[in-house]
């Protein structure tokens, strides 16, 4: 098992604003065991890791692959036409998300809600997040306000004020003193998980 799996769990947990004790209780393991896992001092079983991934909204395949439990990438079987018919299957090649996004510097979060719907980010999608503690104006970020639950919003900073802007006409921007807002990551891509309209954005 890679020693980085503990860091991946810790980063995803902190990005969600979930305490160590709370996550341990939610997945049914002792918090001291989880602490050792996060610090690379103990191993974790496949079932427990899958529960943690589900609780954190992280793609379990990515975590299982990083932990050495699963290594087979997706197979890309060719092209399919949305207009004129073509050969249903052409060339077989593998597609590994980790070739595009380094799992040591990125993590996945399951989107909940529709606040970013106008940016094409839907409820249930997997947001690909790059670890970061700073952001540029107009970046879409994972932000935590007052140590609470994480939120995905567009970022704008003017002097000592930060505005978190939804991409939804029915929601209003939220403005806070910069000292109250902590950046946990920057949105860099999307995995659509709907069966009828699966797509990958970068």
* Tokens 């990515």 belong to residue: 62
The strand pairing partners of 165, in sequence order, are: 154
51, 122, 153, 198: which is the annotated catalytic residue?
153
- Residue 116, C-beta contacts closer than 8 angstroms, at least 6 positions apart: 140, 152, 153, 166, 167, 168
Residue from 31, 173, 192 nearest 108 by CA: 192
Is 105 designated active site?
Answer: no
CA pair distance 110, 97, nearest whole angstrom: 16
Catalytically annotated residue among 115, 122, 161, 196: 115
What's the sign of the alpha-carbon dihedral 121, 119, 66, 147? negative
Q: Does the active-site annotation cover 179? A: no
Residues tagged active-site: 115, 153
């Amino acid at each position: 098992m890679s020693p980085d799996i503990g860091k991946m769990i810790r980063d995803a947990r902190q990005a969600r604003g979930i305490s160590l004790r709370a996550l341990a209780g939610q997945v049914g393991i002792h918090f001291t065991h989880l602490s050792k896992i996060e610090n690379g001092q103990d191993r974790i079983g496949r079932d427990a890791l899958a529960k943690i991934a589900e609780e954190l909204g992280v793609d379990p395949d990515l975590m299982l692959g990083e932990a050495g439990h699963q290594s087979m990438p997706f197979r890309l079987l060719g092209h399919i036409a949305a207009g004129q018919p073509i050969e249903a299957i052409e060339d077989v090649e593998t597609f590994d998300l980790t070739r595009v996004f380094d799992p040591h510097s990125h993590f996945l979060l399951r989107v909940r809600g529709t606040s970013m719907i106008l940016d094409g980010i839907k409820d249930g999608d997997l947001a690909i997040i790059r670890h970061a503690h700073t952001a540029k104006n107009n970046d879409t970020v994972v932000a935590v306000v007052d140590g609470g639950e994480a939120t995905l919003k567009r970022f704008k900073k003017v002097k000592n004020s930060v505005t978190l802007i939804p991409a939804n006409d029915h929601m209003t921007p939220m403005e806070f003193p910069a000292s109250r807002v902590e950046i946990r990551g920057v949105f860099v891509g999307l995995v659509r998980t709907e069966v009828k309209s699966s797509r990958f954005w970068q």
